[in-house]
Structure formats: C-alpha cells, structure tokens
Structure 1
Amino acid sequence: MTSTESTTRPTGRLETFRMPDAGEGLTEADIIGWRVAVGDTVTVNQVIVEIETAKAAVELPCPYAGRVHQLLAEPGATVEVGTPIITIDTGTDTGTAPAGDHGAVVEGGPVNGAAAETGSKIGEVTADGRIATLVGYVPAGRSGGRRARRAAPTGAAAPASRAPAAPVSSPPPVPAEPEPPAAHATHAAPLATPPVRKLAKDLGIDLHAVAPSRADGVISREDVEHAAAARTRPAAGPDREPAPPAARASTRPDDGSREYRIAVTGVRKATAAAMVASAFTAPHVTEFLTVDVTPMMQLRERLRTRREFADAPPTPLALTARAVCLAARRTPEINSVYEAGTDGPDQILVKRDVHLGIAAATDRGLIVPVIRDADAMGLADLARALQELTATARAGRTSLAQLTGGTFTITNVGVFGVDTGTPIINPGQSAILALGAIRDAPWVVDGELAVRKVCQLALSFDHRVIDGQQGSQFLADIGALLADPGLALAF
C-alpha cells in the first residue's frame, strides 16, 4: 500500500485515525474516495473519506482538527478495521482542540474516548450509559477534562485554537460573527451535526444542496425536512424501467481487451457470501402463481387521484407489499427464522412485526433496505416509504441501520421486463417473494376469452420452517388480494 505524505514538517502532534468498525462487527472496508488532500485544513466532524463496507457506502468524519499530513490508503484499497488510514498534524496554528476534548489519541490508540476509557466499540453502549460514537464523545463524569464550553457572549468570538469539539448530541458552538461563505475552503463539507447528517441520508437529501437557515451556516433538522418536502418526484421509482446501461457507471475498460476482471469487494462480496450460505443451508422450495391483476391496476388508477397519494402514487410494488403484510397475519410462520440450537434443541423464532426488505439494484451491487413495521402502515404510508427508500438507494446513501433487521423480502424483477424467477432467501429470513412484470395476456373471464393484466408471482421459502400447505396458503392469499383488492376487508 502506498501513501501520500506532506513535504512539510509537522508543526504539532501527529494524530492517527484508524479505520473504525462502522457497525455490526465488520472486519474491513474499501476506500471509495478521499474528500481531502495532503495539506488541506480539516475540522472536527468534517467528512474526510467515503468507504464501502459489506453493507453500504459510509462517510467518515474526522475526529481531529488540523492539517492533513499523510494519506495512508489509496482509493480502491481494502483496509482492515484498526488499520491507520490518515494522519493529521494538530499544530497550534490550525485551530485544533486538545485530544482530551474529543477522545482522540496518538499513534495506535483507540479511535475515540469511549473506546479508550471503557473498552466499548463504536456504536456500543458504554459503562456510563451513552453510545460510543466516532467523534465528539466524552464519557460523563470524566476526570481531568475541561468543562463544557459555554457559548461566547454577544460580540465576543471564541478563539479558534481553543474551541473544543461539540458533543454529537448538540450542534457546534455558534460564533457571534460567522465568516462569510467566501472565506470557507471550497472542499469543506456542509456544516451539520451527525443526527442531521443521518436524517439527510435516510431521506436521500444531498446536504450540499441544502441552504442553511441559521446565521452560522449550520444545517438544521428543519432545513433538511424542508428540502425533503420540496424535493421533486424522483425520475425513477421501484416500478419504472431502470436507467439504461449507458447512464450507469461502467467498469468496462476501454483498452480494447476481449475480457476483463471485476474485483469482488464491498457489497458484492457480502452478497455473494450471503447467497451461498443461504442456498446451501436452507432447503429452498419455490412455488409459482399467475394472477389476473386487472382489478388491482384499476384500483391503482382510482387511488392516484386521491389527495393522500399526491406525493407518492400507489405502485404495483406498494400494493403487493400491502398484500404481503395482510397475508402474513394468516400465516405468521412466513415471518420467522430457523435458529440452530447450541445448548438446546433447534427453534423457529416467529416475529410479530413485519420488517419488509425491498431488493434494490444499485451501481455497487444488490442491497436490501428495510421498511420497519411495514405491517402497521397503510397503503399511502407504504407508498411514501418505498419512494424514499428507492431514491436513497439509487443515490447510494442507504445507511447501515436501513439494511438490517428485515424479516421478509420482496424482489421486483418486473421492472426489468422479467416474468418471474426463483429468488434466494436472505439469511436471517424464511421467505422471499418475486414480483414479475405485468403484461397484457389472454385470460378466461366468465367463460369468455379476454385481454387482461396478468402477473406472475414466485415464492421461495425455507422448508425447515414453512410446510408446503403454509407456503401455498400464503402465496394464494397474496394472489387473491391482488386479483380482488376488496378481500382486504376480510383479512
């Protein structure tokens, strides 16, 4: 691994930032790209690098203030958790805060104060009951540290060289006389607290496009919510045709070679391992059903004119998702998982809440973001959740939290013009439904041949958990609800 190093001597202490565990015990991540270069001035919580884990793309904020001294990992490199990736020169002339204020340590120590003093990993609950975060965390009751800095009185700006890092739970201090926009570096990330950044990611909002309403230029939660409300309807949704191949990022080399290789890393690597584990662990059974969905499509057209669907029109995927949630009430085993016993017998864990995973194809590979408590949502809420989920996934901003906890998955292969398939169950679940393309086809209605809207469904399920009768009943219920949406009143 090569590195890029500053040619100037450090003016202060060199701080080393190591690749953190971005969540769920991940062991490695790929460097997608640096947001800073050697010699750039950085501040605490400024995004400095984007990485790709086995789950999703993640932006890492800097835990130090100073100047970039050395980049220790190149874009495209796979880096193990705990490996140094950047060093920061925290000279006194760069506006740095002492390491004691933001939990950073020198050359090889933990990446935050929580880990240093309590042994907790990032994201875990520490001994004092708080959550260890990447930056801006100081355990409560810590001895030897400075007290929380009070906001400077009106007309007195706090010296930059003594400003401590703000806790994650509160916005950074507000200077009395903020610098004009022209004084900021062009590469600086938008100013926002971590909770606001997470909200923006969940809503698929690019913070660079959000105008802050506060005088200090910090983007607030209200700014993000207003941007989400004003956002135009995305050009592509879960039930529209995908972008043509030419519009997507291509990995094909242009050197005229007749073959080329694609590295299996990040999301693609995790997906491959999960599919192999599932295919060779759970005994798959796949059943198929062809349904006349003409009544569903007619209902969709009527609902499109209603006010509650103005922002997110009902799609066939949304209607199918609602049918899945209703059918799961009559076959709760479909929403369960097989658990191999260690000290006792094997068990089937049946889950009462339906956390619905929606398979989404992205430039980085297949991901399955989750709509939590989908069974508690009405059709309008499901339609909005699906629209936001799709926009976030296509923008590559799906958070780690959105990719975990699913209990049942739908894969909409119909958007690619495919009639059906034999989907593989996601690990940790017991069933997956494939929704095929809706086509005009000849169909017998009341003894007469007619042209109808027809769709094929495919349900794969774990035969250790779900018997043939249960799987067939669940699939038949979904088909009945799509063929006659009025039956929902009986479920």
Structure 2
Amino acid sequence: MPDVGEGLVEARILTWHVAPGDTVTDGQPVCEVETAKAAVELPIPYDGVVAEILHPADAVVAVGTPIISVAPAGAAAPAPAPVRQEVLVGYGPRTDGAALPRRHRTAQPVAAPPARAAETAEEPRPRAKPPVRKLAKDLGVDLSRIRGSGADASITREDVLAASSALREAAAVRPGERRVPVQGVRKATAQAMVASAFTAPHVTEFLEVDVTRTMKLVRRLKKTGSPGDIPVSPLLMVAAAYLTALRRHPEANASWDEPNQEIVLKEQVNLGIAVATARGLVVPNIKDAGRLTPAGLAGALRTLVATARAGRSTPADLRGGTATITNIGVLGVDTGTPLLNPGEATILAFGAVRPKPWVHKGALAVRDITTLALSFDHRLVDGELGAKVLADTAAVLEHPQRLMMGR
C-alpha cells in the first residue's frame, strides 16, 4: 500500500479491478482505495500477471503492506504454498513438503501423554503481529476466538476491530439503533473539525447583503449566454467577490505556525469549496484561484465540484487550501457559524437568497437578500480585519457588473 498522501498511515480498499491470472501493464489501475482524504485509483508499477490478491475489498491496510503479488509474464505458475504443520514449540513449521507423522483429531483415543507433553500439544498461539495484539488487549478482544483473515490465517487489525464492534453491539443492543463505522473521509473530517474547534479561537461575523443585482446578472447571463460561455452561478459570483476581498486584504490569507510562533502569509489563494459527497464532506481547492479570469474560475469551479461529487478528488486536490467557501444556501439554510479547516484563517458561509423587504434608494422594496457569515482565526484576523473582508465581499456582490469584465 503506497503512501498516496502526506502523513497517511492506512487506506481502505474499495474495489479490485483485477483478479488472479489477469495480465497487467505498468501504470494500469488495479484497485481503488479510500484514504482519510479521498478515493484514488492505484496503478501497478510492473508488467506481468496477477499471482495473488493479498487483501480483499473493504480491508483497511497499513501503508507499506503488500496488497498484490505480480509474477513476470510467461513465468510458470507459482507453486502451491507449503502446508504449515503444527509442531512442538521451538521447532518451527516443516516447510519442505515432506509429510510429518501426526495424529489426526479423528483418530481413536490413545493413552494420555505425560503432563509436560500435554502442555506443549495445546492449541497454538493465535498468529498476530505485536501491534494487533496490543490493539486486541486495549479493546478487550480474545484473539483465540477470532478466525484470522490474513496470510496463513493470521489475525489482522480489521479482524480485531470487527470482533470489537460485534462485542459492543452485543453488549448494547437497543431497538431502533444502527451503528456505522467511522472511517475514511468521514473519520478524517471528524478529526479535522475537532482539531479546528479546540486549537483555533473562532470568531464569526454576519452581514445581510442585497444581492438583487447579482441575481439579475446571473439570470440574464444564463438566458442570453455569458462571454466565453462561462457557467455562471451565484456561487461563482460569491467566489469572485471573496477573492477580491482577500486580494485587498492579503493579511487575511495566512496560517498560524504554532511551533515557531509565527504568522505565515500566503502569496496565493487556494480557494476551497465544501462539497457534500456519498463518503462525507470534502473540501478540494482551486490552486492560485486569485490569478484566474472569471471564465477560468468558472471552469475550475465546475470541474472541482464534479470531480468531488464523483468521488475522484485526489489528495493533492484536498491539500494546501488557504480559504474556504461553504454554500449552505443550497440546503435552504440562512446562515451558520462554519468551522475553519485546520491551517486556514477564514471560511465564508453563503446563505440562502430570499426575497425580503429592504430599504432601497430611500424606499421600501422587495429585494433579493442573503446572509454572509465569515468565521476566522482570531490569532490571525482581528475583528476589524474580519469586518473589512466581509464588507468588501458584500460590496462586490451588491455591484457585480465589473466582475464580468475581466481583471
């Protein structure tokens, strides 16, 4: 299992694309795995024939563990693995293929051996690596009651976790409940949100914004066609406005270096977009989004969202974000207090756009109104700076025409 992302220690195999006996070529995807950050396909780095699949689908495998065996093309079929035979402790298994004289369990009863011999003929110790044994001890799992699914019937980490889960369910069965293992993207999201909530001092500021002109512009461009056939949407307009505000206030595009007690100012804005997927919430980002034209930003946004919803975001897509937008308005939510992604200074929540009574040019009128909520790390962004970023984002949305004229 290769390390497909920074700091990852394990991945879950989602599906195999090959089977034993299949011919594979260098670079061919052979399986799809889910890491803590994304689902990715793994290519094989060899030409040859699949000899053995070492871990089944749905298995969680540590980085560095072999998952597939490939023989050179045209090589003779591998010889059957020698049968491991149980012997007295200290002598090890016989592996030369020669038969060992042994008594079968179905044989007729024989005279009882001396007590010491009886002790050495007990059931062998369950096969498991030290980390697996420690995990079993921590979870209170009896390894002798587990049938191993690993090589040579060894007990794996997944076997222990499954046994622990079964024990918990048996001990706390309640009508109307269902337990779902937390793993992959959902597990990573949970860990990141806990880390964010308890390390960065969050502050959230709110602002109601008249986006009537923005919504009219979006509807008009969708109807008549935008310059360069830009896929225009309210989210695109909010993203462009947010990038404008961050360009005006670059000190808000930063991160906190705790070990060195330094503020790290970022020269480019990698704009993250929160996307709900079947595997959980992911936040891929558009690299150096501030340099893009409206057409380039629109295309990047469309590709990013489509890739994420298809479950094809790569770890590189999810790394390095500096600011994020969460579009809660599509769910009918007016506002909220979004949690920062770890390592980022700001996150903007875009609420639902609703017709509301509003004072416009000195008279009461019905206007399209939304609420923007900006959460920020108070170590990096004080109240004044946060207010300026939020106000400048709102100002662009109130007068959006210049966004479509290029930069």
TM-superposed CA distance for 1:299, in Å, is: 1.9
Contact 2:247 2:290 (8 Å CA) reproduced: no
Per the alignment, residue 400 of structure 2 pairs with 485
Query: For residues 362 and 424 of structure 1, what CA distance do their matches in structure 2 show?
Result: 18
Amino acid across the alignment from 1:269: K
Per the alignment, residue 386 of structure 1 pairs with 301
Are 1:296 and 2:214 an aligned pair? Answer: yes
TM-superposed CA distance for 1:486, in Å, is: 5.0
Q: 1:65 aligns with which of 44, 47, 56?
A: 47
Q: 1:360 aligns with which of 275, 280, 283?
A: 275
Query: For residues 480 and 314 of structure 1, what CA distance do their matches in structure 2 show?
Result: 19
Are 1:34 and 2:3 an aligned pair? Answer: no
Per the alignment, residue 407 of structure 1 pairs with 322
Per the alignment, residue 234 of structure 2 pairs with 316
TM-superposed CA distance for 1:53, in Å, is: 0.9
Moved over 4 A (4+): 486-489
Matches within 5 A, 1:322-401: 322-342=240-260, 346-401=261-316
Are 1:278 and 2:260 an aligned pair? Answer: no
SS in 2 for 1:476: helix
Amino acid across the alignment from 2:54: L
Matches within 5 A, 1:249-268: 258-268=176-186
Matches within 5 A, 1:197-208: none
Are 1:47 and 2:29 an aligned pair? Answer: yes
Contact 1:41 1:94 (8 Å CA) reproduced: no
Matches within 5 A, 1:399-478: 399-478=314-393
What is the TM-score when the length of structure 2 is the normalising length?
0.72
Contact 1:290 1:455 (8 Å CA) reproduced: yes
Query: For residues 473 and 449 of structure 1, what CA distance do their matches in structure 2 show?
Result: 27
TM-superposed CA distance for 1:76, in Å, is: 1.4
TM-superposed CA distance for 1:449, in Å, is: 2.4
TM-superposed CA distance for 1:361, in Å, is: 0.7
Against the structure 1 CA distance between its residues 486 and 40, is the aligned structure 2 distance closer, same or farther, given a 3 Å change threshold? closer
Name structure 2 gaps, 5 residues minimum. 78-174
SS in 1 for 2:67: strand
TM-superposed CA distance for 1:419, in Å, is: 1.0
Deviations 1:206-242 (A, max 9, x none): xxxxxxxxxxxxxxxxxxxxxxxxxxxxxxxxxxxxx
Identity %: 56
TM-superposed CA distance for 1:341, in Å, is: 3.5
Query: For residues 48 and 12 of structure 2, what CA distance do their matches in structure 1 show?
Result: 25
TM-superposed CA distance for 1:55, in Å, is: 1.5
Amino acid across the alignment from 1:323: A
SS in 2 for 1:36: coil
Query: For residues 220 and 263 of structure 2, what CA distance do their matches in structure 1 show?
Result: 41
SS in 1 for 2:219: helix
Query: For residues 83 and 376 of structure 1, what CA distance do their matches in structure 2 show?
Result: 41
SS in 2 for 1:92: coil
Matches within 5 A, 1:189-204: none
Amino acid across the alignment from 1:284: H
SS in 2 for 1:84: coil
Amino acid across the alignment from 2:186: R
**Structure with a larger share of its residues in helix:** 2
User: How many residues are paired up?
Assistant: 308
Amino acid across the alignment from 1:382: L
Name structure 1 gaps, 5 residues minimum. 1-18, 96-256
Contact 2:214 2:400 (8 Å CA) reproduced: yes
TM-superposed CA distance for 1:52, in Å, is: 0.7
What is the TM-score when the length of structure 1 is the normalising length?
0.60
Contact 2:23 2:73 (8 Å CA) reproduced: no
TM-superposed CA distance for 1:91, in Å, is: 5.2
Deviations 1:28-54 (A, max 9, x none): 101101111233232322211100111
Query: For residues 323 and 58 of structure 1, what CA distance do their matches in structure 2 show?
Result: 32
TM-superposed CA distance for 1:94, in Å, is: 8.2
Report the RMSD for the aligned CA atoms in angstroms. 2.2
Per the alignment, residue 112 of structure 2 pairs with none
Contact 1:65 1:94 (8 Å CA) reproduced: no
Matches within 5 A, 1:153-168: none
Query: For residues 67 and 289 of structure 2, what CA distance do their matches in structure 1 show?
Result: 40
Query: For residues 411 and 315 of structure 1, what CA distance do their matches in structure 2 show?
Result: 14
